[in-house]
Structure 1
Amino acid sequence: MSFAVFLAVIGAAFLHASWNALIKQGASKMTGMLILTLVQGAVGLAIAMTRPMPDAHVWVWLLGSGLFHSAYKLFLSYAYEQGDLSRVYPIARGAAPLVVVVISALFLADQISGWEYLGVFVLGLGILTMAQGVFASGESRRLVPLALGSAMATAGYSLVDGLGARVSGDAVAYVGWLFALDAVFFTPVCLLLRGRAVLKADRRAWMMGSLAAGASYGAYAIAVWAMTVAPIALVAALRETSILFAVLIGWVWFGEKLGLGKALAAVMIIGGVVLTRV
């Protein structure tokens, strides 16, 4: 992985933590996520229509991606209703790189060195350690299975999109279409679960959701592009450095506690990132 790609993925990680913070701040997490999805889908469709249509075989990857993304956001919305940003986010993001690297090692042709494997392991362990406080601090344990569901969906779309973007040969068009399909899948699910009330939002909610959509689109467009020029497992792992940004945002913006456990886990995450660069 080149240094330029490395910096781009770290920037994407910051954008990812930022849009999660915007959704967490909203009164209705599901409504905020739906606004994000609708705005993102509209932008994606507009961009996709300026590019050549994907070949028929690419649509299989796009449909799978749309389903995984919808599941990811559904689990994440429910999880944020149960716990803090600095608890939900580490669990939701923590398991994903470990799943991705195992699948990549078994089934994909990406070449990953021993140091990089160690870096992914340390990084994942640090993120999971960050989340252990949910059992010690009396927080709602219901957030754990919801956040883990989000993590599994993250691993799914990371693999599908990394391979799908390579197959398509046009990462810009691929990202545009996947977000358009995500809106098609996610919207009826929200209406089914929450009814028409989920569509009720004031001007501030639309503004926050739209800002989150812009950050989310930029973060994932960078990540998918990076997956076309670097090993998928490494990109997926480096994206999880967003936990550092999320913890800082939770501490400064939401006033969440930053204890010794979180600090130690943050050091482990930084160590994992350094090892992936050895």
Structure 2
Amino acid sequence: MSAWLLSLEGTEAGHQLALVLAISAAFLHACFGALQKGRHDPWLSRGAIDGMYGLIAMPFALFVVPWPEPHMWLIFLGVFIIHGIYKLLQVASYARGAFTVVYPVMRGMGPLFTVIGASIVFGESFAPLQWFGVAILLVGIFGLAVYNYLYLETERDTLIPALLLALATGLFVAIYTTFDAYGIRATADPFTFLAWFFFIDGVLMPLIAVRHWRRLALRPALPPLMLRGVVGAGIAMASFGCVMMATRLDKVGEAAVLRETSTVFAALIGWLVLRETVGPRRIALMALIALGAVVVELGG
């Protein structure tokens, strides 16, 4: 599998596969975000999910994939720190604001800064039409967040802190996307990076979640939470694996932009699953996001 994937790097087939992987990651990431914002406390949900994917990845990291090269350990330390900060900011934002408001903001910051970071780190460049597509996508994403904010009926007292946290989270989306793309390209076997990423990344949040659970006056039953963790772990591993493979096969910036169509999927999930209101204006803004992604793809 690794040899076949690596043979597609820089080819048209690799570009097409990267496109499919990035869109798949977008849908899966929206599902993952909604899972954290659902019935359970987001701190507990995140802890259960991370703990489960760490356990799933452990035997693959230790016994299946080739062991990381020596230079990879410093990269994994950076991964642990960056993703730890990102998740603390993300969960804090979810705990204070409506999903359909904070999610577009945190995801909207990502593509712009990732494109800039990819140009610096990987020497990538966007055509003028692609930059126009990025602008369309960002107008749709932030327009969606503003619209949701104006018509939100609940959680207004904590919304400003939630939005500030969402902005900071978006910055770390760009940082981890660029850094992880560097990491998966720095090892001979991409599956080595993925297995060790999930093994290492599954350590921090379960410890925080256990501490949080012990402090609760009303502690939720563990079996439903663990079930959510198993489901979420599968979604997280598929989503992250898809976008990381996309960045290995093709441009990091394009993969990052296409992944942010997750905002469209998130709005649909918020409407269909979380019962949050969706109207014609929000549908038009979601269409803008999708249009921006299409323009980025066609402009390349």
- Asked if TM exceeds 0.5, the reply is yes
SS in 2 for 1:211: helix
CA distance in 1, matches of 2:230, 2:262: 20
CA distance in 1, matches of 2:221, 2:115: 40
Instruction: Rate the CA distance shift 1:177–1:200 in 2: closer, same or farther, 3 A.
Output: farther
Name which of 256, 260, 274 aligns with 2:276.
256
Asked if the contact 1:26–1:205 (Cα under 8 Å) also holds between the matched residues in 2, the reply is no
Asked if the contact 2:105–2:166 (Cα under 8 Å) also holds between the matched residues in 1, the reply is yes
Does the alignment pair 1:220 with 2:240? yes
Q: Partner residue of 2:6?
A: none
Q: Partner residue of 2:104?
A: 90
Larger CA deviation: 30-39 vs 72-81 = 72-81
Superposed CA offset, 1:214-247 (max 9, x none): 1011000111111111111111111111111110
Q: Partner residue of 1:21?
A: 34
Larger CA deviation: 91-100 vs 196-205 = 196-205
Equivalenced residue count is 277
Cα displacement (A) at 1:169: 2.4
Name which of 56, 64, 78 aligns with 2:92.
78
- Give RMSD over aligned pairs: 2.0
CA distance in 2, matches of 1:55, 1:150: 30
Name which of 166, 173, 183 aligns with 1:147.
166
Name which of 124, 132, 136 aligns with 1:122.
136
Asked if the contact 1:63–1:178 (Cα under 8 Å) also holds between the matched residues in 2, the reply is no
Q: Partner residue of 2:214?
A: 196
CA distance in 1, matches of 2:61, 2:252: 23
SS in 2 for 1:86: helix
CA distance in 2, matches of 1:215, 1:26: 17
Name which of 165, 176, 196 aligns with 2:184.
165
SS in 1 for 2:66: coil
Asked if the contact 2:101–2:149 (Cα under 8 Å) also holds between the matched residues in 1, the reply is no
Cα displacement (A) at 1:133: 3.0
CA distance in 2, matches of 1:48, 1:252: 37
Asked if the contact 2:106–2:168 (Cα under 8 Å) also holds between the matched residues in 1, the reply is yes
| Structure 2 unaligned spans of 5+ | 1-13
Larger radius of gyration: 2
Does the alignment pair 1:43 with 2:66? no
Q: Partner residue of 1:180?
A: 199
Percent identity of equivalent pairs = 27
Superposed CA offset, 1:154-187 (max 9, x none): 1111011101100112221111112222222334
CA distance in 2, matches of 1:117, 1:79: 29
Asked if the contact 2:133–2:294 (Cα under 8 Å) also holds between the matched residues in 1, the reply is yes
Larger CA deviation: 29-38 vs 202-211 = 202-211
Superposed CA offset, 1:115-159 (max 9, x none): 222222322232121111354236322210111122122111101
Name which of 60, 80, 84 aligns with 1:66.
80
Q: Partner residue of 2:113?
A: 99
Q: Partner residue of 1:53?
A: 67
CA distance in 2, matches of 1:190, 1:146: 19
CA distance in 2, matches of 1:173, 1:42: 16
Cα displacement (A) at 1:44: 2.0
SS in 1 for 2:141: helix
* Residue type of the alignment partner of 2:55: A
TM-score by length of 1: 0.92
Does the alignment pair 1:243 with 2:295? no
After the TM superposition, which residues 264-275 of structure 1 pair with which residues of structure 2 at under 5 Å, given as runs?
A: 264-275=284-295
CA distance in 2, matches of 1:2, 1:174: 21
SS in 1 for 2:60: helix
Asked if the contact 1:115–1:275 (Cα under 8 Å) also holds between the matched residues in 2, the reply is yes
| Structure 1 unaligned spans of 5+ | none
Instruction: Rate the CA distance shift 1:167–1:220 in 2: closer, same or farther, 3 A.
Output: same
SS in 1 for 2:202: helix
CA distance in 2, matches of 1:143, 1:65: 24
